[in-house]
Amino acid sequence: MYEFSKTEQDYLKAIYQIQEKTNGLVGITELANYLKVAAPSATEMIKRLAKKGLVDHKKYYGVSLKTDGYQEARFIVKSHRIWETFLVEQAGYQIDEVHEEAENLEHASSRKLVERLYALMDFPKADPHGSEIPADRFWESSVIEINLSQGEIGHRYEVITISDEIGEFLMDLTLGQPKFITVIKILPDGSVIVKLDDETRFLIPNFQKTDWELKYYSH
Ligand SMILES: [Zn+2]
């Protein structure tokens, strides 16, 4: 389903990363310099990617990513940054040792593997260099939906829906709908203490039968 060569992935990633900084079309010369290849080979490769519908090439102006190319680039960037995070946090690497390893691992990892590692590390927001890890999900088969009251203490969940009752309750607290919450404690009366990513903690009363639905990535 996802048939990309290592070179294709490197080009898509390079365009993505240049655009992360500049936001405009990426010139062929700029791209060639970034990848340390000759301009004619960059032109050849861009033609190939354009034929596959992954990039848009406007002669004399430059290249941009189309939807499928953008998706693959985001995935490779996520794969790279997940591996760097994993190597530092779980495998005892120094920060300056991880980039080369991640350059290889990013291409060798399936979407499932990257998403499992992402869940295993509780959805890190940035890699050890401080670069943002894309929160997009590239593999969804391991998703389980549960209610807040079934939450596991200490686990961080993605919030998918909240009931009107809890929505109003949060509005009263001037909190919007949070994207992620961590379950801190479930009290005997069924109310739950949760924590937001910014460390704000609050108590959700036990509204009868109404609940938050949460997404849980099993691992
Ligand atoms: Zn790196």
What's the CA-to-centroid distance between 153 and ligand 1, angstroms?
33
Residue 218's pLDDT band, with cuts at 50, 70 and 90, is: very low
Closest CA relative to residue 85, chosen from 138, 137, 126, 134: 126
What's the CA-to-centroid distance between 19 and ligand 1, angstroms?
17
What's the CA-to-centroid distance between 90 and ligand 1, angstroms?
16
What's the CA-to-centroid distance between 99 and ligand 1, angstroms?
4
- The predicted model gives 78-97 an average pLDDT of 97
Helices (H), 90-200: 98-108, 111-120, 164-172
Q: What is the pLDDT of residues 169-189, one digit of tens each?
A: 787 877 777 888 888 988 888
Angstrom distance (rounded) from CA 69 to CA 11: 10
Domain architecture of the chain: domains with CATH: 6-65 (1.10.10.10), 143-217 (2.30.30.90)
What's the CA-to-centroid distance between 118 and ligand 1, angstroms?
16
Q: Is the pLDDT of residue 219 over 60?
A: no
Helices (H), 36-66: 39-51
Q: What is the pLDDT of residues 10-66, one digit of tens each?
A: 999 999 999 988 878 999 999 999 999 999 999 999 999 999 999 999 988 899 999
Residue 108's pLDDT band, with cuts at 50, 70 and 90, is: very high
What's the CA-to-centroid distance between 173 and ligand 1, angstroms?
40
What's the CA-to-centroid distance between 100 and ligand 1, angstroms?
7
What's the CA-to-centroid distance between 186 and ligand 1, angstroms?
40
**Cβ–Cβ < 8 Å for 32, 38:** yes
Residue type, 175: L
Q: What is the pLDDT of residues 120-173, one digit of tens each?
A: 898 899 999 999 999 988 876 556 667 777 788 888 888 877 777 777 878 787
- The predicted model gives 82-108 an average pLDDT of 96
What's the CA-to-centroid distance between 32 and ligand 1, angstroms?
19
Q: What is the pLDDT of residues 191-204, one digit of tens each?
A: 888 888 888 898 88
What's the CA-to-centroid distance between 83 and ligand 1, angstroms?
9
What's the CA-to-centroid distance between 84 and ligand 1, angstroms?
7
